[in-house]
Amino acid sequence: MRRKLVVGNWKMHGSRPANAELLAAVAGARPYGCDVAVCVPFVYLGEAAAQLAGTDVRWGAQDVSPHDQGAYTGEISAPMLQELGCRYAIVGHSERRAYHAENDELVAAKAQAALGRGVTPIVCVGETLAQRDAGETEAVVKRQLSAVIHTLAHCAAEMVVAYEPVWAIGTGRTATPDQAQAVHAVLRAQLHAATGRGDRMRILYGGSVKADNAQALFGMADIDGGLIGGASLKAADFIAICRAAG
């Protein structure tokens, strides 16, 4: 039985007073009956660590450098995330693939760097609307995942995967539970073929998950929770989504 996981992706939102309020509400609404984490902007990781220490709500980053240290101005390394107690690092989010030209190989290197320091990578895959319309969904997500599987090799079963159709992110347009389940089943088969442990790996769905659609999505056989963007910024919404997974 896979325990469900709900992860908030705050993206580039937040302020110290607003974060303190949001984190207090999320921690205060425990227990959830599922694993819960928030991936906050780098600069707020220390505060998240301080505020969430001693609770079972975990924290993580939204990206990580593929390098451990060196002359990489502006980058944040996996050892730094480890030092801050991060449990997770999102890698390959579609916004980073689109706006920072991240390719499959770089995403795989980031996942490897995170895992090497005990930080679980949440590897995002997903097709654009044009790719879906062209019937390429399966090929695209398999290609994206296969680069990471290849790089992580025998450690591949340690990652978390997030299926996030690009057309559903921040658009209010959600994949139907059946559409999402179909892709999750493909990803699980791929993971199982590569690791022999795909049945134990968590595959999250992300893309306009809200309190009112979470339960139907999380009820599907291969959907093990969610990666939540916009709705993770409102305590009541995020808490309701976590409860739907519990």
Q: What minimum distance in Å lies between the beta carbon of 206 and ligand PEP?
A: 3
- 19 is a site residue for ligand PEP (CB under 6 A): no
Stretch that binds ligand PEP, among 133-141, 187-195, 204-212, 216-224 (CB under 6 A): 204-212
Known catalytic membership, residue 93: yes
Helix (H, G, I), strand (E, B) or coil at 206: strand
Other beta carbons less than 10 A from residue 99's beta carbon: 9
As a whole number of angstroms, the distance between CA 232 and CA 226 comes to 11
- 169 is a site residue for ligand PEP (CB under 6 A): yes
- 166 is a site residue for ligand PEP (CB under 6 A): no
- 225 is a site residue for ligand PEP (CB under 6 A): no
Tell which phi-psi region holds residue 168, choosing left (phi > 0), alpha (psi between -120 and 50) or beta.
alpha
The residue number with the shortest CB distance to ligand PEP is: 229
- 164 is a site residue for ligand PEP (CB under 6 A): yes
Q: What minimum distance in Å lies between the beta carbon of 44 and ligand PEP?
A: 17
- 244 is a site residue for ligand PEP (CB under 6 A): no
Considering only CA atoms, which of 103, 125, 119, 93 is closest in space to residue 9?
Answer: 93
CB proximity list for 241: less than 8 A, separation 6 or greater: 6, 209, 210, 211, 214, 226, 228, 231, 232
Helix (H, G, I), strand (E, B) or coil at 176: coil
Catalytic choice (95, 102, 127, 164): 164
Stretch that binds ligand PEP, among 26-34, 64-72, 162-170, 211-219 (CB under 6 A): 162-170
Binding site for ligand PEP (CB under 6 A): 9, 11, 164, 169-170, 206-209, 227-231
